[in-house]
Chains A and B, each alone.
Chain A
Amino acid sequence: MSSGIIVRRDPRAERIRRNRLHPRHHEFCQPAARWMGPNGVMRRNPHTVAAIGPNGLRRLDRSGATVTGGPSLRSVNDESHEQRRQVTLESPDFLVAVVPECPEGRLSSHDRDLFGLARQLADRDPASSGAVVAITFDHNAPELADAGADRWLALDDDSYAGYSPETRLTALETVARSWSPRHWLLPDGPAVGSDLGRRLAVRLAGLQPGSEEARAAARVWQVDGDHCICRGGGEHRDIHRPLPQVVLALAECAEPVSETRHEARPITLDTAPVPSIRRVTDHGRVAVDPSCIALDQAPFILAGGRGIGDWPGFHETARLLGAAEGASRVAVDDGYMPRARQVGATGTFVTAGCYIAVGISGAVQHLQGIEHCQRVVAINSDPGCDMVRRADLALIGNGDAILAAVAARLEARQHEEYRHDVA
């Protein structure tokens, strides 16, 4: 034992090692491969020198050579967490039909909750296994296997495009006649999201009049065994009632499927649905002036804050982008924008799909207001501000100049399109 060795403590490193939320905790916590012990003996950590061999077993190489190449222990563990159990079902005893709404051609979180509820109903009794059938009016719905569908009926005829409740209803009626699912689950969303479900509920109830099973439950938010809880009118009553055949469920009615993966095997109808007369004609979407949309519903928002100097240019860019205008509290207090356009905890909570924040540093109240935005773009001169940290894309620079450049490009493009149309 050499007594001449002085073991020095590093109080800062110890403090960081103790604080699990410290941003650099991870690197300080990395166990060193070798270090000098308190008595001057070289210590080794076998956990860091070990590596995963080709058979998935951890091998310790004592030769001293650094082992590389194989995946580390941590990543193997992560993969095993990601792996879902594959479930296949050959001959189900009964069916649970789910008609997801699929806005923008993708499963929404509401649809995933609905599949979670369907799995809950299908797997309730271990003695008789049920299969979840997804019925979509769209040919590409790739996430159905992960969402929890055993079978998949894709009705992707042209006649189902747009707003076509009658043809869709006839198709669902054909499904009901040929397979008679035990339960039908449809989303009960805001606005027209629940239209098809209510039509189906009434049509199926007409096939078996007077039956209590046939009376659909709307706005279901919990299913417990044979009973369900529905939210009554005006949001102030809960109704406990037996679970009927048709269930129109609210968002977060059940946990989405996360443990298993199902096969989503494509199936087809034996009998083609009888084409029905379209009595409602869809003339397509109408162009809506973005400044007329209420801020909490706007799909695309351009918001300005203290960093904006050129407000006329800001308004012009919003017009060219086709975005609704928003503002931070500072911009509203300084009188550049009306109070109704303020985003944040003290203003409006927005749900935009895309939110562009120009010259907004990102106060806590403002970040709370944009919590539900899917994509955030920050344009700011300060690279260290909270908004840049929150953003999916951050552009560091002068907001006024960048907006002016964007406006110039969009204007040039519009001129080009106009010339193209004239020619």
Chain B
Amino acid sequence: MTSPEVRVLVSSGRHPVSGRSGAAREDARAVEMALALAGEGVTLLHAGDPADASLRYYLGMFHEVPGLPSVGRVGRLDLLSMPAESDATSLLAEQLRHAGASLVLTGMRSEIGEGSGLLPYLLAERLGWNLVAGVAAIEHCDSESATILQALPQGQRRRLSVRLPCIATVDRAAPAPRQSAHGPARRGQIRVIEPQESAGVALDEPRGQWRFEPARVRPKRLKVVKGGSARERMRAAASTGGGGGGRVLSDLDPEAAADELIRYLESERVLQ
């Protein structure tokens, strides 16, 4: 089986607690998924500042893991040089159109900046490609189509098949990324591509008028009980959630209790 050509869009991330710059967690999962799928056929792609040190983290993931495809000699990353405030969509779309990749993986949304998660959708719309959101695993991929497991809430999965070329965003439920090693990170090649005049780096105009502030703590929603007597409202405010109103069945033998439990679970559609 020839391994398909896979591009991974990576961005620099930010540690949620310490705030240190590093790899974005979902992007690292996307790199892991691509390496496990295609091995040598993986190329990373980033648009932004060439001096960004956190991109080396992803290159450090290009090392062999037993049981998975070989990743080749060194990692490769194409870097489209661009000021931080400009719009990456047109640059990335041009690059992907000419690169000839059939599958593009990326995280759900970036960890710094606007973080709206719209970029994969903009790229798919501009290129006319398919898009699948929230991928947990890629079961099968050939040159024509891919079979994908999509992550749903509560740990559930849905199987989809999609025709290539396709952009897939990788969910947190995907397998954890392998460690980044120092040697491969040093050896990895970063190819800086200066933008063509024709592509034209568009400055992100509307964003200039937005106001960025440190995140405020969102107010906790209060349980407001309307009406009733003062005593009822006081009780509702002082109670610690739930309680009361349940059905208590005592003096049952185990057989009857089991019947009761199964009937309840069926009526609540927990048990089919």
- A residues with a Cβ closer than 8 A to B are 20-21, 25-26, 29, 74, 77-78, 81-82, 103, 163, 189-195, 198-199, 201-203, 206, 212, 215-219, 221, 229-242, 248, 252, 258, 279-286, 288, 292-294, 297-300, 321-322, 351, 353-354, 356, 367, 371, 375-377, 379, 383, 388-398, 401-402, 404-406, 408-410
* A-B contacts, CB under 8 A, total: 256
**Are the CB atoms of A286 and B116 closer together than 8 Å?**
no
Q: Is B209's CB under 8 angstroms from A241's CB?
A: yes
With a cutoff of 8 Å between Cβ atoms, the chain A residues found around residue B231 in the complex are 20, 25-26, 29
Docked pose: A82 CA to B148 CA in angstroms: 48
With A236-B215, A299-B154, A406-B262 already in contact, 7 other A-B pairs whose C-beta atoms are closer than 8 Å? A81-B227, A198-B117, A198-B133, A202-B122, A297-B155, A395-B252, A397-B253
Most B C-beta atoms less than 10 A away, residue of A240, A395, A402, A408: A395
Residues of B within 8 A of A367 (CB): 240, 242
Whether A236 contacts B214 by the Cβ 8 Å rule is: yes
Selected contact of A240 from candidates B13, B211, B253, CB within 8 Å: B211
Partner of B151, one of A163, A192, A401: A192
- Report yes or no: A393 in contact with B151, Cβ–Cβ below 8 A: no
B152-171 contacts to A, CB under 8 A, are: 152-163, 171
CA distance A281 to B144 in the complex (A): 14
B14 to chain A, nearest CB (A): 5
Known: A286-B149, A379-B257, A397-B257. A238 touches B155 (CB 8 A): no
B115 close to A232 (CB less than 8 A): yes
Q: Can you give 17 A-B contacts (C-beta < 8 A)?
A: A21-B235, A81-B227, A195-B133, A195-B134, A215-B206, A218-B117, A234-B13, A238-B213, A240-B213, A279-B163, A283-B159, A297-B155, A354-B270, A395-B257, A397-B252, A397-B257, A409-B262
- The 3 A-B pairs with the shortest beta carbon distances in the complex, nearest first, are A233-B115, A81-B227, A293-B155
Q: Mark B85-129, 1 if CB is under 8 A from A, else 0.
A: 000000000000000000000000111111111100110110000
A136–B229 CA distance with the chains assembled, in angstroms: 39
Please, how many angstroms separate the alpha-carbon atoms of A242 and B112 in the complex?
20
B234 to A21, Cβ gap below 8 A? yes
Considering only CB atoms, which chain A residue lies closest to B158 in the complex? A285
| B67 is an interface residue with CB less than 8 A from chain A | no
| From A78, A193, A238, A371, contact of B216 by CB (8 A) | A238
Residues of B with C-beta under 8 A to A375: 268, 270
B247 touches A219 (CB 8 A): no
Chain B 236-272 interface mask (CB, 8 Å, partner A; 1/0):
0010111111111111111101111110110010110
Q: In the bound complex, do residue A203 and residue B125 qualify as a contact, i.e. CB atoms below 8 Å apart? A: yes
Tell me whether B16 and A78 are in contact (CB under 8 A): no
* B residues less than 8 Å from A388 (CB atoms): 246, 248
- In the complex formed, the residue of B with least CB distance to A406 is B258
User: Would you call A394 and B246 a contact (CB within 8 A)?
Assistant: yes
Q: A234-B115, A395-B261 are in contact. Are A192 and B241 (CB under 8 A)?
A: no
State in angstroms the CA–CA spacing of A252 and B259 once bound together. Answer: 40
**B19 — nearest CB in chain A belongs to which residue?**
A236
